[in-house]
Amino acid sequence: MTERKDLIQEIVAVEASNLLETVSDVKNDGYRLGQICATKTTDGIEVLYSFEKDVTLKNFKVTVGDRTPELHSITAVYWPAFIYENEMHDLFGITFKNLALDYGGNFFKIAKATPWNPNAVKAEPAEAEQAEAEQAEPAEAEQAEPSEAEQAEPSETKQAEPAEATCAKERTDAPNDEERKGDKN
């Protein structure tokens, strides 16, 4: 029985100092960037780079310390990696050298530090409370019942028609096929 190539997924450990060279080689071989993710491990932070070509995945695992994690950005080779790298910076505290588009820790606006990066830039307490209140407002507004005064007084403002009714009205006002034929003549 032969092994199916489309089911092969290799994961290769790469030293941080060799990451950019490894990624450049993969790019030259025609692979596209699939994803980059990070996770905390007992050894530090593990970053997994995945590349795809002809339904074959190549994964490169780089482990960095969690005290001052630092990697070289791959945005010089794969520019869209700036999204993943800014995300990992904000959530895990990884610093990326030569990052093409650096949000400086503000890619996400977070109210509380993440469990993976306690040094993350976070909103001021007042801003965090306001953000939480804004998130709660729509739910409260949906549940709020009209006051007795609102129920007793008829509203002078006309309620907007539902979108379905408006669309149906527009459709019935549209010219029919016979009228369209007359316009062409």
pLDDT of 63 strictly over 60: yes
Read off the amino acid at residue 151.
Q
What pLDDT, on a 0 to 100 scale, did the predictor assign at position 152? 58
Distance CA 167, CA 175 (A): 14
Between 47 and 170, the more confident residue is 47
For the chain, which domains are there? 7-131 (3.30.460.80)
Diameter of the chain measured on Cα atoms: 80
Distance CA 81, CA 59 (A): 15
Structure tokens given for 135:
């998130």
pTM beyond 0.85, yes or no:
no
pLDDT digits (tens, 9 = 90+) for 29-44: 999 999 999 999 998 9
What pLDDT, on a 0 to 100 scale, did the predictor assign at position 163? 46
Q: Is 178 exposed, middle or buried (0-12, 13-18, 19+ CB in 10 A)?
A: exposed
pLDDT digits (tens, 9 = 90+) for 147-169: 565 555 555 544 544 444 444 44
**Among 23-27, 45-49, 74-78, 90-94, the least confident range:** 90-94
Task: Tokens 């804004």: give the residue.
Answer: 134
pLDDT of 170 strictly over 70: no
Distance CA 96, CA 79 (A): 13
State the DSSP string of 112-140.
S-BTTBTT-----HHHHHHHHHHHHHHHH
What pLDDT, on a 0 to 100 scale, did the predictor assign at position 144? 56
pLDDT digits (tens, 9 = 90+) for 69-126: 889 999 999 999 999 999 999 889 899 999 898 888 778 777 777 777 756 555 555 5
